[in-house]
Structure 1
Amino acid sequence: MTTAQRPTPLVIDFLAEIAHPWCVINLITLERALMSLRNEVRAEIQFQPFELSPKLGPEGETVAEGLARRLQWTASQALDNQMAAQARARAIGIEYTANPERRLWNTFDAHRLMRWAGRQNAARALYLALAEAGANRGENLSSREVLARIAGEAGLDAAGAYAVLASDQFADEVRTIEVHYRKLLVFEVPTLVVNGKHRINGAVNYDAMVSGLRQIAALPA
């Protein structure tokens, strides 16, 4: 008689920018892969902050402007990337409309709010609410009033959220985490860091996600 093998525990640091379509795509793909692997791995997903543009001013910038500044992409390349994200999102049941002129905002406060939500086991709910508001409705995610309202829409206490945003709570924590991952040479998201050392970079498809997680789970602890 054989004893069934216990699922391998995995701690997955999900490094993501707020309202970044490829990050949302990667989250849903990860969750579906983990469901398929539920008899092989037991995973804990930890949402970790990562700002693509930490010095972005209050005026924000468009998606196309951000890609041109960070990656030297042309307007045509930015549109192609947005259209690819739209196609991938809709293929897995997420509504996302390509718009290179959509405005991006500084997300430091949004990441602080994510740390607060995480203390209440509500990081996923807030992340998806922020993604919907920022990526599809084009809301200003640097506005503390907007962030507090979205927290309320996600089932959190809006007044409590605003109190956090009006303070400096979680500011040092967010900065420390971001510095840690930049020291590990993480410069783009989405990125998964599994068990603190193994990476899955980019918004990989379902098959690649399953394969990558299975390979990591098979490695010696």
Structure 2
Amino acid sequence: MPTSLKIDFVSDVSCPWCAIGLSALEAALARLQGEGITARVHCQPFELNPRMAPGGQDITEHLTQKYGSTAEQQAQIRDTIRQRGAEVGFEFSPAGRGRIYNTFDAHRLLHWAGVEHGDRQLALKKALLVACHRDRQSMESHEVLLAVVQQAGLDTTRAQSILGSGEFAEDVRAQEALYTSSGIHSVPAVIVNDQHLISGGQPTAVFEQALRQIAADEAAD
């Protein structure tokens, strides 16, 4: 019997593990299609650095301040991230992100896409992740964001109007508050059917197994 799952993918554009997690999730869903399991993925907002100042911050400096890691440790982590990305078909820049930026406007655009163009939201999310992690572009730059909007097949005039106003700001803040108040403090967080949580940028096989079990439980109920 076919089973349809609702998946909320809670993440931040600036998070490399979110890029890995989304790619792995999509690969898992592709494997499950032959078993009659389908899903609609909704991208939900989470800001790792909501108070990031305009202009961003050097990524090495930022990670040292936030986690106490050294440049050498960060280089090792970048190697791991690149390898994990390659396993699921996501390309990271060998040099890393360079700088980290505020992502609130990117989340406002993603919310708009979800509300008015639900079938294009995932395409926008993936294009933003590529712009950030492969192409090392500024996620606070309206020029960059509009170029990504165009790439995703969305209306740049409408997007420019959103960026020039506070539209969807309250909606994004409300969604962020909803997830943090529910206990989500790290991303990616994959919430299935509003009740099952899969945390972290898991390998494809882990997502596949978890989703298959959830679908089986849903069918049994």
Q: TM-score, normalised by structure 2?
A: 0.90
Q: Is the 8 A contact 1:113 1:164 kept in 2?
A: yes
One-letter amino acid of the structure 2 residue matched with residue 204 of structure 1: Q
What is the distance in 2 between the residues matched to 1:219 and 1:64? 44
What is the distance in 2 between the residues matched to 1:219 and 1:93? 30
What's the offset of the Cα at 1:41? 2.1
What is the distance in 1 between the residues matched to 2:49 and 2:61? 11
What is the distance in 1 between the residues matched to 2:165 and 2:9? 26
What is the distance in 1 between the residues matched to 2:94 and 2:88? 16
Partner of 1:36: 31
What is the distance in 1 between the residues matched to 2:76 and 2:83? 11
Select which of 179, 189, 203 maps to 1:181: 179
- Tell me, which stretches of 5 or more residues in structure 1 are unaligned? 1-5
What's the offset of the Cα at 1:19? 4.0
What's the offset of the Cα at 1:136? 1.9
Partner of 1:18: 13
Partner of 1:92: 88
| Moved >6 Å (runs of 4+) | none
Partner of 1:55: 51
Partner of 1:141: 139
* More divergent stretch after superposition (174-183 vs 122-131): 122-131
Per-residue CA shift, 1:103-128, capped at 9, x if unaligned?
Answer: 11100001001111222121111112
- Tell me, which stretches of 5 or more residues in structure 2 are unaligned? none
Count of residues paired in the alignment: 216
Partner of 1:3: none
* More helix, by proportion: 2
What's the offset of the Cα at 1:100? 4.6
Q: Is the 8 A contact 1:17 1:52 kept in 2?
A: yes
